[in-house]
Amino acid sequence: MPNFRYELRQSSGQVSAGVIAANTSTAAAQMLRAQGGYILSLLEVRDTGKSGLNSILSFKVQTGPSAKDVLNFTQQMAVMIKAGISIRAALEGIVDQVENDKFRNILQQIRRDVEAGKSFSDALAKYPKVFSPLYINMVRASELSGSFGAMLERIAGYLAQQIETRSMVRGAMIYPAIIAVMAVVTTVFMLTYVLPKFVVIFEGKEAALPAPTKIILGISYVVRTYWYAIVGVLAGCVWTFLWVINTDWGRMWWDKIKLIMPIFKKLFRCLYISRSMHTMGELVNAGVPMLDTISITANIAGNTIYKRMWHKVFVAVKQGKKISDPLSRSRLLPKSVIQMIGSGEESGKLADVLRDISEYYQKELKSVIRTVTALIEPVMIILMGFVVGFIAMSIILPVFKLSSLVKG
């Protein structure tokens, strides 16, 4: 039976601590409540006496909650709230089912905050890295309107779509990355293993070798002799790139590149527009104030160029202007989208218009991903074939040339 370490605040204000044995954390909590007082903390005591193979097998790398963890939690909460279960009881029931230890601890603290009288949205707001501003503001709006269960369903739908979109984009990037890695591995293999076997044949006949063969043999020599320097330079380039894009000016530069990059630029534009419109639509539908909606949309846009555009919209709306006014001076959104937003503002159906735009660009994004994948495949295969063919030609040409000299 597992042990749980607890801290309990008595009605007198005195805090006591100890260890209690129970089958689950829920059972331990019930036993402590029977003693009276308020539970400050309740954590399972892990067995640190394991050694050898058991210790290795039981070791787990602790990571923070993933987007999938948050989605599962939201879906479970939505079902339980709509079934009439209180927030505290729903949290208590979900905590025991959470596998991620860090997320379980976060939910336990949220449950304690709710029990102490805090609103659910305020309890969530303590963990901005887990629950986004959109999540917290939609929950806060539902607490005011009394549509908590339905709002959790909307949030779950939003999270599910964002996870699906992220998965599609990553999938589109993985395929060309695999092809590129295969091309590099094949080239390195031929330069370091295949070509050196022909060096003995060509020794003493360097003057008769054609230019492509001399170039490839030189490259092979450099790769085999100074491979550690090449690896160091490549690692330094990767580190420099990662450092640059984590600076403000570097992030701006990289975000601009993504919007003008051949083949990929349409994919990124569809992604940013779909994400922005979906976020705005959900927040407007939830009854979140417009300024808060625009601010959250700017932070979730995913690109600093689009973020600056939404900040300009924020300033304009704060001055009493319409959303479509500053957007009409931007080239980041198609004119048709701006016209639809303006029409939605005039008719009072902005949320519906944003939803329609989001759905259209979600479908467009799927189509663009298929097109990009179809374009990249032949390009990568042709490039790989060119490199391998050039190396093969560089080996075969001198063989024919030397054999003709021998016959002559």
In the chain, the N- to C-terminal Cα span, in Å, equals: 90
Q: Hey, where are the domains in the chain?
A: 3-46, 67-160, 177-408
CB atoms within 10 A of CB 210: 13
- Whether the pLDDT of residue 220 is over 90: the answer is no
- Whether the pLDDT of residue 143 is over 90: the answer is no
CB 380 within 8 A of CB 183: yes
CB 40 within 8 A of CB 7: yes
pLDDT band at residue 236, thresholds of 50, 70 and 90? Answer: very high
pLDDT at 52: 44
CB 301 within 8 A of CB 152: no
Average the pLDDT over 385-389 and give the result.
82
- Whether the pLDDT of residue 129 is over 80: the answer is yes
Q: How far apart are alpha carbons 310 and 316 in whole angstroms?
A: 10
CB 115 within 8 A of CB 43: no
Q: How far apart are alpha carbons 408 and 121 in whole angstroms?
A: 89
- Whether the pLDDT of residue 6 is over 80: the answer is no
CB 241 within 8 A of CB 233: no
CATH superfamily of 67-160: Type II secretion system (T2SS), domain F (1.20.81.30)
Contacts of 278 (CB under 8 A, 6+ apart): 158, 161, 162, 354, 355, 358, 362
11-43 pLDDT, tens digit per residue, is 666 666 667 777 776 677 777 777 776 666 666
CB 11 within 8 A of CB 24: no
Average the pLDDT over 117-143 and give the result.
87
pLDDT at 170: 81
Same fold, 67-160 and 177-408: yes
Q: Would you say how long the chain is, in residues? A: 408
Query: What pTM did the predictor assign?
Result: 0.69
Mean pLDDT estimate for the chain: 81
- Whether the pLDDT of residue 86 is over 50: the answer is yes
Instruction: For domain 177-408, give the fold.
Output: Receptor-associated Protein (1.20.81)
